[in-house]
């Protein structure tokens, strides 16, 4: 072999580049549609024959190209989207490498027409194997049409490597879904062998999802929404009961670009923990808006993988956001307050067997402590989500409505020492403080049964109680369950010593709480509830904030936030209504 170096001819260099970018007809579809989106098109038509092996054509009504640009666009490194290295970090367009058209032109026959709005006459360009065969004036409508025929005609290995028409069509449909989901503001149509496969009018994202997948998907969608300094998150997740055995409905978009990310997927999956059966995958359509400076999209030639600067926080925020929405939707079908109390256990916990939580010492414990940033963020979004379900058209919420202001938590005040009043955008909420706290505690107890991380707090001064004989018998019966809930209790004779207790409620009057608990157990009939559930209910009752207790504004706020972070916030563990609402309409009717 000669060791003399030579520069590869451009068409060969292009063919090599094409090997990376254009793997199959669906890659052509992706590149062409993305160019049309970048050209500000409002209508994009995709026409294919024989799953793209014979023809892939895109017709758009975008900005079009001048004669010069049309010719240049098929050259390597020809792009109008970046001018210098710095532009890479502020990129808004889909393309920027200036590689796609040159690659496609090196392995196919191309016919392109284009006309800008300001030009009267358009241009027709024909290229085959990177060689321009024709460039002439033509009459065409505003925008660009590019036909790619005989794909891989000069790369037999590639052509032979293509799969059956069905498989290739599936790849094309996948690419089509990805762009169409990211751009509900564009009308797309898609024809295969003269049959219309999709017609997607301009619509909301929710409607776009429905138009693509089927009207049945509507009831399965739960909106998600979060705004933080790291990212703005929006979109929909699919209710866990509708999860699938395939990953076909998993979509992440970062700045409107479809991406694959196993770490983001992992974050969502962890939010669904306990809600999915083995072998099932959650469905989601999640849109992240991130400052382009904080990501690197330049990792992969086909740009479906990206690097995030702040991935730890992003992971946590996404998980919290998804979890929160999952919690919200679970209560929606149960607006009926008279429902069967047996259904009261958030089902995440039902099937799990109790685990004894580990002991953790936290001497600086304060039940109304400051939360960390992420917890705070996930909590304060409840008003947005709540008001979304509250509004008449839950299908579409505009940006403007989502004026999330983290520095201003909801305004609250206490009335008659037993109600907390707070406002929603849609009106007023009057909350029964004890029932709200019961609900909060109940869910925390249930969680501590199943979540090994839930801490139990060692008491600096263990509390001592002398039991009656009857209490002694009851205690023996319930000792195991109390352990599972985070209590560590030593018994010697009839003397009980509480060494540690769950960390999420006030221990000041722990003796009373335990004594009250025994009375409740004594009287209790638990109608088929498991012992541990009965105990959680009883404890949530005895440890809850009672009427007559004055709460600071901070405590009120935390209680309201905690309530709406619950899986079920409408009723207390004993199926009583927690709050009433007074809507603006109701007020207007009375006072206007």
Q: Please identify, using beta-carbon distances, which residue of 72 and 269 lies nearer to ligand ADP.
A: 72
CA distances to 210, 535, 542 from 442, in Å: 37, 9, 11
- Compute the least distance from the CB of residue 97 to ligand ADP, in Å: 5
Angle between helices 311-331 and 262-271 (to 10 degrees): 30
Site string for ligand ADP, 12-41 (x = CB under 6 A): -------------------x---xx--x--
- Compute the least distance from the CB of residue 103 to ligand ADP, in Å: 8
For the chain, what is the radius of gyration of the CA atoms?
31
Q: Footprint of Mg ion on this chain (CB under 5 A)?
A: 35, 95, 100
- Compute the least distance from the CB of residue 145 to ligand ADP, in Å: 8
Q: Please identify, using beta-carbon distances, which residue of 144 and 544 lies nearer to ligand ADP.
A: 144
Q: Please identify, using beta-carbon distances, which residue of 96 and 419 lies nearer to ligand ADP.
A: 96
Interaction partner, residue 36 (Mg ion, ligand ADP, none; CB < 5-8 Å by kind)? ligand ADP
CA atoms in the 13 A half-sphere facing the CB of 21: 26
Q: Give the Cβ contact number of residue 235 at 10 Å.
A: 24
- Compute the least distance from the CB of residue 386 to ligand ADP, in Å: 42
Contact call for residues 50 and 168 (beta carbons, < 8 A): no
Per CB under 6 A, does 98 bind ligand ADP? yes
Contact pick of 101, 397, 510, 514 for ligand ADP (by CB under 6 A): 101
Q: Please identify, using beta-carbon distances, which residue of 36 and 67 lies nearer to ligand ADP.
A: 36
Interaction partner, residue 187 (ligand ADP, Mg ion, none; CB < 5-8 Å by kind)? none
- Compute the least distance from the CB of residue 116 to ligand ADP, in Å: 9
Cα torsion 159, 161, 164, 170: sign: negative
- Compute the least distance from the CB of residue 140 to ligand ADP, in Å: 12
CA atoms in the 13 A half-sphere facing the CB of 201: 2
Site string for ligand ADP, 55-84 (x = CB under 6 A): -----x-xxxx-------x----xxxx---
Q: Please identify, using beta-carbon distances, which residue of 77 and 403 lies nearer to ligand ADP.
A: 77
To which H or E segment does residue 315 belong?
Answer: helix 311-331
- Compute the least distance from the CB of residue 173 to ligand ADP, in Å: 21
- Compute the least distance from the CB of residue 60 to ligand ADP, in Å: 5
Judged by DSSP in three states, 302 sits in coil
> CA geometry: angle at 369 spanning 226 and 564, to 5°?
40
Q: Say if strands 456-466 and 488-492 run parallel, antiparallel, or are unpaired.
A: unpaired
In sequence order, which residues have a C-beta less than 8 Å from that of residue 132 and are 6 or more positions away? 71, 74, 125, 126
Question: Candidates 93-101, 220-228, 307-315, 461-469 — which segment interacts with ligand ADP by CB under 6 A?
Answer: 93-101
Residue 492: alpha-carbon gap to chain centroid = 52
* Of 224, 185, 199, the residue nearest 37 (C-alpha): 185
- Compute the least distance from the CB of residue 127 to Mg ion, in Å: 16
Tokens of 306: 């990206």
Distance CA 169, CA 48 (A): 9
Per CB under 6 A, does 240 bind ligand ADP? no
CA atoms in the 13 A half-sphere facing the CB of 142: 13
Distance CA 287, CA 291 (A): 13
Distance CA 424, CA 485 (A): 34
Q: Please identify, using beta-carbon distances, which residue of 73 and 544 lies nearer to ligand ADP.
A: 73
Tokens of 39: 């050209």
Interaction partner, residue 270 (ligand ADP, Mg ion, none; CB < 5-8 Å by kind)? none
Question: Candidates 92-100, 267-275, 328-336, 472-480 — which segment interacts with ligand ADP by CB under 6 A?
Answer: 92-100
Nearest to ligand ADP by Cβ — which residue? 95
Q: Please identify, using beta-carbon distances, which residue of 78 and 269 lies nearer to Mg ion.
A: 78
DSSP single-letter state for residue 361: -
How many residues touch ligand ADP under the rule CB under 6 A: the total is 23
> CA geometry: angle at 471 spanning 468 and 474, to 5°?
155
Tokens of 459: 């008491």
- Compute the least distance from the CB of residue 62 to ligand ADP, in Å: 5
Per CB under 6 A, does 91 bind ligand ADP? no
Site string for ligand ADP, 132-171 (x = CB under 6 A): ------------x---------------------------
DSSP single-letter state for residue 218: G
Per CB under 6 A, does 97 bind ligand ADP? yes
- Chain residues binding ligand ADP by CB under 6 A are 31, 35-36, 39, 60, 62-65, 73, 78-81, 95-102, 144
């Amino acid at each position: 072999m000669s060791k003399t170096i030579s520069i590869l001819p451009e068409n060969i260099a292009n063919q090599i580049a094409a090997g990376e970018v254009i793997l199959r007809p669906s890659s052509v579809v992706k590149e062409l549609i993305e160019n049309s989106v970048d050209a500000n098109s409002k209508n994009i038509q995709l026409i294919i024959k024989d799953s793209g092996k014979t023809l892939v054509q895109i017709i758009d009504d975008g900005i079009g190209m001048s004669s010069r640009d049309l010719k240049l666009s098929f050259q390597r490194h020809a792009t109008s989207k970046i001018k210098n290295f710095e532009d890479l970090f502020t990129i808004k367009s889909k393309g920027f490498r200036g590689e796609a058209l040159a690659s496609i032109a090196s392995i196919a026959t191309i016919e392109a027409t284009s006309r800008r709005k300001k030009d009267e006459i358009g241009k027709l360009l024909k290229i085959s194997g990177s060689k321009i065969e024709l460039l002439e004036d033509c009459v065409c409508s505003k925008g660009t049409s590019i036909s790619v025929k005989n794909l891989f005609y000069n790369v037999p290995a590639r052509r032979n490597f293509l799969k059956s028409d069905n498989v290739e069509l599936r790849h094309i449909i996948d690419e089509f879904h990805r762009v169409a989901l990211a751009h509900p503001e564009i009308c797309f149509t898609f024809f295969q062998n003269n049959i219309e496969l999709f017609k997607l009018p301009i619509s909301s994202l929710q409607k776009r999802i429905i138009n693509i997948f089927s009207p049945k998907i509507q009831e399965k969608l739960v909106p998600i929404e979060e705004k933080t300094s790291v990212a703005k998150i929006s979109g929909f997740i699919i209710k866990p009961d509708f999860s699938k055995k395939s990953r076909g409905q998993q979509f992440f978009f970062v700045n409107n670009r479809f991406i694959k990310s196993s770490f983001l997927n992992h974050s969502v999956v962890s939010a669904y923990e306990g809600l999915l059966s083995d072998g099932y995958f959650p469905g989601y359509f999640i849109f992240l808006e991130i400052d382009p400076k904080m990501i690197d999209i330049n990792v992969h030639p086909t740009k479906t993988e990206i690097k995030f600067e702040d991935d730890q926080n992003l992971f946590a925020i996404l998980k919290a956001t998804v979890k929160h929405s999952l919690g919200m939707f679970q209560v929606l079908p149960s607006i009926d307050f008279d429902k069967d109390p047996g259904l009261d256990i958030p089902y995440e916990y039902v099937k799990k067997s109790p685990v004894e939580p580990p002991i953790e010492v936290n001497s600086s414990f304060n039940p109304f402590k400051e939360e960390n940033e992420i917890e705070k963020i996930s909590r304060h979004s409840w008003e947005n989500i709540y008001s979304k379900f509250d509004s008449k058209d839950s299908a579409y919420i505009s940006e403007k409505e989502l004026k999330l202001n983290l520095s201003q938590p909801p305004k609250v005040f206490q009335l008659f020492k037993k109600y907390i009043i707070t406002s929603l955008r849609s009106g007023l909420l009057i909350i029964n403080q004890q029932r709200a706290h019961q609900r909060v505690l109940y869910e925390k107890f249930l969680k501590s049964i199943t979540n090994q991380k839930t801490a139990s707090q060692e008491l600096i001064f263990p509390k001592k109680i002398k039991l009656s004989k009857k209490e002694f018998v009851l205690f023996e019966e319930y000792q195991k369950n109390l352990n599972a809930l985070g209590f560590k209790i030593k018994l010697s004779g009839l003397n009980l010593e509480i060494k540690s207790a769950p960390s999420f409620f006030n221990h000041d009057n722990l003796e009373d709480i335990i004594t009250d608990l025994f009375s409740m157990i004594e009287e209790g009939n638990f109608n088929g509830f498991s012992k541990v559930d009965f105990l959680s209910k009883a404890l949530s009752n005895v440890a809850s904030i009672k009427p007559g207790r004055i709460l600071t504004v901070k405590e009120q706020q935390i209680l309201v936030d905690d309530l709406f972070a619950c899986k079920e916030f409408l009723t207390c563990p004993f199926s009583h209504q927690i709050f009433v609402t007074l809507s603006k309409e109701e007020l207007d009717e009375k006072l206007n």
